Amino acid sequence: MSVIAIAVASESGVPIFSRKRGNNDNIQFSTIASLHGINMFTKCHNLSLINTQVENGTILWKEFCKSVTLIGIATGGLEYDLELLLSCIHDAMVFFIGKKDLENLKNIDQIKRDLRQCYPIIDYLLETLDPNTVPRSTIVLDSIQSMLCPQAQQLQQVLDNYAQTVTGRWACLSIHGHLVATSSDFYELDVREARLLLLLAAAQDGVPLRDSLVYLPQMSPNVAFRAVTCKLLADVYVLVICGVTPPLSQIDEIVLQCWESYAHIIKEAKLIHPRNFPLSITFDPVFIGIMVVNINKRRCVFSRHLHGSNQKSRGMSGVHRIDILRTFYVTTARDLAPEFKLERDDREVIDGAVSEMYWCSEYHKCHAQRSGNLLCCALYAPTVPNHTMRLLTNQILQDLSTNKDIFW
């Protein structure tokens, strides 16, 4: 299994970068030239090459800004969401260098150097399609991977105070790459922009304080914002979008003033990981894994540790459980949320009257059910009767809707 993303200049065919995940060898320059040549040949004949099927995989071409062509190659069942992956990679490119420079490509060598800073985020995105790599900060491309903890509402108040103190606007707190709390106006951002900010915080690699210039692909693709990321505790980062002032040295002092007295609350929130759900939510032992999506806020909560560290794997590894639930969601259950449907997707939209779906096999069963803005995908042992799955999934949805410890 492998997934490869290649960026080339549309006119000249000069490779800009190539990133991969999986067990394939690095792609050769001659192969990149051939792939681009095929695309150019079709354009010369007023045709549009979208994708092609190869043995055990798919190759997809997508041009952006009439200047950059992204080529995606996925094999071994990783083809799902390949087009969405390329769109996310383009967003990451704009995020770091801006749309104007990406459209012009005046100095392609400089562009190639500038784009190196987006490699960590692109690698995170590629990991989403590779089940052999446990994603640290995302599991599906159309939602923000999150944690649900009782402390979220209190942490939001602290975030609002922190953002106001540094003359900022949007702020978020992440633990182990999962979104835990946001400032009150954070959801003004497009979900793709919010996910990029979360990925930026996750890619800090232990740096205590960092100042970055970023472009918001939807809101401000040509005017940069200042993103300041601060490490509060191990694997805990707070990010804020603010103005040119205050200076980084002063922000360091403000962070201490705003957050020092809340260290114990953050430590309590950290204990929720890797379960990612409050302990007040109880799961029947037949649950093997679960993924819950808040459709309005585009947040996704996933867990394969529902019953503590002593949970038996039932012969199924954690990576396998991630792969099954993710595949079930992207191929089937997502149709229960037509709000996620891309304009380019020509699949038939499932009628709104459909509220649940099943997958059954010899080794496991999956059940998806939607209730209001919540979509629950649950992985069960193969011996669980279908009517029991329906009852248990429905009960979890009710608990998530009424539990006072849940704050999205």
Whether 170 and 112 share a structural domain = no
Strands 287-294 and 236-242: unpaired
Q: Domain for residue 139, yes or no?
A: no
Say if residues 406 and 385 touch (Cβ distance below 8 Å). Answer: no
Is 182 found in the same domain as 251? yes
Measure the CA–CA gap between 253 and 247, rounded to whole angstroms.
10
CA pair distance 51, 123, nearest whole angstrom: 22
Report the C-alpha gap between 137 and 201 in whole angstroms.
10
Q: What is the pLDDT of residue 346?
A: 46
The reply to whether 156 falls in a domain is yes
Is there a single domain that holds both residue 293 and residue 262? no
The full 3-state SS of 48-104, as one line of letters, equals CCCEEEECCEEEEEEEECCCEEEEEEEECCCCCCHHHHHHHHHHHHHHHHCHHHHHH
135 in any annotated domain:
no
Same domain, 328 and 262: no
Could you list the mean pLDDT of each consecutive 10-residue stretch along the chain, which spans 408 residues?
91 92 81 90 85 87 93 83 93 96 91 94 84 64 93 96 94 94 93 92 82 95 96 95 93 95 96 93 92 95 78 65 89 90 50 79 94 96 94 96 92
> Cα(152)–Cα(133) distance, rounded to whole angstroms?
28
Q: Is residue 208 part of a domain?
A: yes
Considering the domain architecture, whether residues 100 and 44 belong to the same structural domain is answered as yes
Residue 352: predicted pLDDT: 54
Final residue before a domain boundary, out of 244, 271, 298 = 271
Shared domain check, 332 and 218: no
Residues 6+ apart with CB under 8 A from 344: 83
Tell me, yes or no, whether 300 lies in a domain. yes
Q: What is the total residue count of the chain?
A: 408
257 and 297 co-located in one domain = no
DSSP state of 194: H
> 123 and 11, same structural domain?
yes
| Same-domain pairing of 296 and 190 | no
* The pLDDT of residue 131: 60
**Cβ(197)–Cβ(91) under 8 Å?**
no
Q: Is the peptide bond before 274 cis (omega within 30 degrees of 0)?
A: yes
How far apart CA 257 and CA 311 sit, in angstroms, is 41
Q: Token pair for residue 141?
A: 């491309």
Domain boundary among 247, 271, 295: 271
313 shares a domain with 255: no
Q: How far apart are the first and last CA of the chain?
A: 35
- The partner residues of 75 in beta bridges, in order of sequence, read 2, 57
* Phi, psi torsion values for 285, nearest 5 degrees: -55, -20
Identify the pLDDT of residue 314.
52
SS3 string, 201-219, reads HHCCCCCCEEEEEEEECCC
The pLDDT, as a whole number, for residue 370 is 95
User: Do 379 and 264 fall into the same domain?
Assistant: no
From CA 110, how far away is CA 108, in angstroms rounded? 5
Position 195, amino acid: R
**In this structure, what CATH number is given to the domain that contains residue 202?**
3.30.450.30
The domain spanning residue 354 has which CATH number?
3.30.450
Do both 8 and 112 map to the same domain? yes
> Is residue 34 in some structural domain?
yes
Core vs surface per residue 338-350: b (16+ CB within 10 A) or e? eebeeeeeeeeeb
Q: 396: helix, coil or strand?
A: helix
Q: How far is Cα 72 from Cα 69, in angstroms, rounded to an integer?
A: 10
Number of domains in the chain: 3
Residue 137's pLDDT is 56
Give the CATH number for residue 52.
3.30.450.70
- For residues 229 and 172, give the distance between their C-alpha atoms in angstroms, rounded to a whole number: 10
Dist CA 115 CA 95 (whole Å): 10
* Of 365, 361, 334, nearest in space to 350 by CA: 334
Q: Which of 127, 142, 172 is the last residue of a domain?
A: 127
Beta strand pairing call for 299-303 and 144-145: parallel
Residue type, position 211, single letter: D
Residue-number span of the structural domain to which 26 is assigned: 2-127
Q: Is the Cβ–Cβ distance between 108 and 24 less than 8 Å?
A: no
Residue 137 lies in a domain: no
* DSSP-assigned letter for residue 348: P
Residue 136 covered by a domain:
no
CB 166 within 8 A of CB 246: yes
Phi then psi dihedrals of residue 117, to 5 deg: -70, -15
- What's the pLDDT score for residue 101? 92
